[in-house]
Amino acid sequence: MINSSLKQLAAQLAAKKISSRELTQSYLSRIETLNPDLNAFITVDAEKSLMQADAADKLLAAGLGGVLTGIPIAQKDIFCAQGWRTTCGSKMLGNFIAPYDANVIERFNVAGAVNLGKTNMDEFAMGSSNETSHFGKVKNPWDKLAVPGGSSGGSAAAVAARMAPAATGTDTGGSIRQPAALTGITGIKPTYGVVSRYGMIAFASSLDQGGPMAKSAEDCALLLNTMAGFDNRDSTSLDRPVEDYARDLAQPLNGLKIGLPKEYFAEGLAPDVAQTIEAAITEYKKLGAQVVEISLPNTQLSIPVYYVLAPAEASSNLARYDGVRYGYRAPEYKDLTDMYKKTRAQGFGAEVKRRILIGTYVLSAGYYDAYYLKAQKLRRLIAQDFTDAFKLCDVIMGPTTPTTAFNLGEKSDDPVSMYLSDIYTIAVNLAGLPGMSIPVGFGANGRPVGLQIIGNYFGEAKMLNVAHQYQLATDWHQRMPIL
């Protein structure tokens, strides 16, 4: 059962072969067994989850269930869920019980899904290894010496270890795709504006986007059907007709044009990853796709641009954590300014503080034009690269990451080398495009390799189709780590 697709689970629930309570309980038991070691969840509340499961069972009994009714979903601890502790991986929010639901949570609630618990993450989603969490590092279920990736590392590990049928993530510079790649699961970051950011704790507002993380593209399509949609409480939410993201899953790939950016296969890409990606491309050719070489010439600039824009927005977004209205407040202080400074020095971890300082600096008087404004101009060039590329192809493919999962502790003292590992994912956020990662094999060390699929704006259904066809022909997505 733990390897069942969402569709299969839904069928079993509908046929009353299993109740939501039983299903939820079985995952809660698995979490109880595996979580002490993997640390994928920050908060589990069996009572709350089972209450939701019972409510779902009533709906199912009345024949009122939808596709996700009664299915337990692990929620990244960045989504506010009413009555649930919502920490964003930070000591700052260590005691924060959210008094309201994020739009994404509300949508899952309306669909009758069960909140299985809140998953671990890099503090305020700042990180690529899940090592910056105040609640401890997460281990990669495939190799416990390895990082699961980040920032949605808890969600990725939970799905990879089959502690949850599916999970949510958020992606500001690769935080869905990179951990999905490193743990051998499927994840999609939609076009910016497709999933509401309301109640999703902000890191960098112009880049943040929520999305599903699951075992397969098909599961992701079903989850995205629930997560996506216009929300009038988010001014950047796009008011578009409702889509069925699963509508094109069955389409054959004959004539599909895949663009391979030469910059994604250049120096810095590990040979084992390169080979695995090439094998996946070969598989696509078998499925009828054609390959064209494209160029994204400003790829290298995406890292510096990102590390100006994201910290700048973050430095402002995180100013609200001041110990006044909620969250952590330092126990001792001399006066107001001292209260602010101690609260923030003690409540934030090292990486968050670094980014706040960088962001403060690049926005400060005399530096704005050279850093922030410059980065916004380059952002346009980077986005333009993709516009040009999509004149030549339907989707872009390449590695999600330059290497397989690195070891825990390997890069935690060297922020810059950590930042560089996001080279293939960041540009997608800067352009606001949809991107996903699917498992396509394993590297030399037996750790998973992810293939990145980048679509044009609002190309989610197409990308999911492209991923699904591959998953029909291969079984990488069904592989499970031995635990």
Single out the segment in contact with other proteins by CB under 8 A; choices: 56-64, 113-121, 220-228, 371-379: 371-379
In the complex, the smallest distance separating the C-beta of residue 84 from other proteins, rounded to whole angstroms, is 12
Output 265 or 367, the one with its CB closest to other proteins. Answer: 367
Window of 13-21, 133-141, 360-368, 392-400 that interacts with other proteins by CB under 8 A: 360-368
Active site residue 285: no
Does position 95 bind other proteins by CB under 8 A?
Answer: yes
Window of 114-122, 221-229, 362-370, 470-478 that interacts with other proteins by CB under 8 A? 362-370
Look up 76 and say whether it is catalytic: yes
Do the bridges between strand 395-399 and strand 41-43 make them parallel or antiparallel, or are there none, so unpaired?
Answer: unpaired
Nearer to other proteins, 300 or 474 (CB): 300
CB nearer other proteins, residue 257 or residue 342: 342
Residue closer to other proteins (CB basis): 361 or 442: 361
Q: Is 175 a catalytic residue?
A: yes
Q: Identify residues 147-176 at the interface with other proteins (CB under 8 A).
A: none
Q: Is there binding between residue 109 and other proteins (CB under 8 A)? A: no
Cis peptide before 151, with omega less than 30 degrees from 0?
yes
Which is nearer to other proteins, 11 or 373 (by Cβ)?
373
List 175, 315, 412, 421, catalytic entry = 175
Catalytic residue from among 5, 19, 76, 437:
76
Q: How far is CA 28 from CA 40, 183, 221, 411, 475, in A?
A: 13, 21, 25, 32, 27
Residue 432 binds other proteins, judged by CB under 8 A: yes
Nearer to other proteins, 57 or 208 (CB): 208
Q: Shortest gap between Cβ of 114 and other proteins (angstroms)?
A: 21
Q: Which of 30, 274, 291, 304 binds other proteins (CB under 8 A)?
A: 304
Spell out the SS3 assignment of the chain: CCCCCHHHHHHHHHCCCCCHHHHHHHHHHHHHHHHHHHCCEEECCHHHHHHHHHHHHHHHHCCCCCCCCCCEEEEECCECCCCCECCCCCHHHCCCECCCCCHHHHHHHHCCCEEEEEECCCHHHCCCCCCCCCCCCCCECCECCECCCCCCHHHHHHHHCCCCCEEEEEECCCCCHHHHHHHCCEEEECCCCCECCCCECCCCCCCCEEEEEECCHHHHHHHHHHHECCCCCCCCCCCCCCCCCCCCCCCCCCCCEEEEEHHHHCCCCCHHHHHHHHHHHHHHHHCCCEEEEECCCCHHHHHHHHHHHHHHHHHHHHHHCCCCCCCCCCCCCCCHHHHHHHHHHHHCCHHHHHHHHHHHHHHCCCCCHHHHHHHHHHHHHHHHHHHHHCCCCCEEEEECCCCCCCECCCCCCCHHHHHHCCCCCHHHHHHCCCEEEEEEEECCCCCEEEEEEEECCCCHHHHHHHHHHHHHHCCHHHCCCCC
Q: Which of residues 318-337 bind other proteins (CB under 8 A)?
A: 318-320, 322-329, 333, 335-337
363: contact with other proteins by CB under 8 A: yes
Nearest distance, CB of residue 225 and other proteins, angstroms: 21
Is residue 354 a contact residue for other proteins (CB under 8 A)? yes
Nearest approach, Cβ of residue 351 and other proteins (Å) = 10
Of 378, 426, 449, 451, the one binding other proteins by CB under 8 A: 378
According to CB under 8 A, which one of 274, 381, 472, 480 is a site residue for other proteins?
Answer: 381
From the list 20, 129, 133, 151, the catalytic residue is: 151
CB-CB contact of 73 with 116 (8 Å) = yes
Angle value at C-alpha 190, between 101 and 149, nearest 5 degrees: 85
Residue choice 12, 109, 236, 251 for contact with other proteins (CB under 8 A): 236
Rounded least distance, CB 287 to other proteins, Å: 30
Stretch that binds other proteins, among 5-13, 39-47, 378-386, 445-453 (CB under 8 A): 378-386
Residue with tokens 């400074």: 341
Q: Which stretch binds other proteins (CB under 8 A): 31-39, 149-157, 229-237, 282-290?
A: 229-237
Q: Pick the binder of other proteins from 16, 17, 144, 233 (CB under 8 A).
A: 233
Nearer residue to other proteins within complex by CB, 186 or 191? 191
CA angle, residues 332, 334, 336, in degrees to nearest 5: 100
- Residue 204 in the binding site for other proteins (CB under 8 A): yes
Out of 5, 19, 69, 86, name the contact with other proteins by CB under 8 A: 86
Site string for other proteins, 438-457 (x = CB under 8 A): -------------------x
Question: Which sequence positions are flagged as catalytic?
Answer: 76, 151, 175
